[in-house]
Amino acid sequence: MNCKIIQDLLPLYRDEVCSQESRQAVDEHIQSCPHCAEVLREMGREENLDRETADVDREKAQVIAGVKRRFSRRKRLSVLATAAAMLAMFLVFTAAADVERPVPYQEGMVDVSLASDGVIDIYYYGGNYASFRVLDREIDGRTAVYLCYTQNIKSNLTPLFSHAGRPESSGHLSIGNGLLLDTVKGAAVQIPSQDQIQEVYYLAGDYAALEDMGEAEFSAATDGAVLLWQRS
């Protein structure tokens, strides 16, 4: 066989898909033909180079894919971390928005008067409020009522209410028939009858703690209470 035919058979020879007769003819030819032998070696070098290039490309592709996966994972983690932080901030803000703080007393902030029907009216002029605290205590045979208004973040964001009887006031408590009623917010607390109450004080303090105090401790804790009204 001449060189052209042999070189046409070389790809089949390398892939081992030619017939046994053709393979034998190629073996015999390249032993005596340096040119065709070199062509065969060159084909081997090209295949090795293609294989190495393919391996490099595969490694590059794997590196790129790994970088993309890491970036995507970092992005997901970043999004999750941001969402978790926002949720935590929301929960903290929500919890903080409900925390009530006593409103410190200021001159003229609360006005107490006895109505003609015997009801004790308490008007509040301190702006928005969340709720109120109240406690009654018998001291030296006289029943005294201690109260204070509270504020929180939510109350400072709500519209200001006014009592119909006194438009300039933002709160109205009424003591009568054994109840202290918040006529603005509709809350009610059981309390001694209005004719049993001799004094009303404003005290910004911890009313839960006041309830469990003994006489001496209670007297010390209420030393700063402001007398709002006293039965004559």
| Domain ranges, ordered by start, for the chain | 3-96, 102-230
Q: Report the 3 state secondary structure along the chain.
A: CCHHHHHHHHHHHHCCCCCHHHHHHHHHHHHHCHHHHHHHHHHHHHHHHHHHHHHHHHHHHHHHHHHHHHHHHHHHHHHHHHHHHHHHHHHHHHHHHHCCEECCCCCCCEEEEECCCCCEEEEECCCCCCEEEEEEEEECCEEEEEEEEEECHHHHHCCCCCCCCCCCCCEEEEEECCEEEECCCCCEEECCCHHHEEEEEECCCCHHHHHCCCHHHHHHHCCCCEEEEECC
Question: pLDDT in tens for each of the 232 residues of the chain?
Answer: 678 777 776 677 777 777 787 777 777 777 888 887 787 788 777 666 656 666 666 777 776 776 667 667 777 777 777 777 787 776 666 655 568 899 999 999 999 999 999 999 999 998 889 899 999 999 888 999 999 999 887 766 665 555 555 556 688 999 999 999 999 888 999 999 999 999 999 999 999 999 999 999 999 999 999 999 999 8
- For the whole model, what pTM was predicted? 0.58
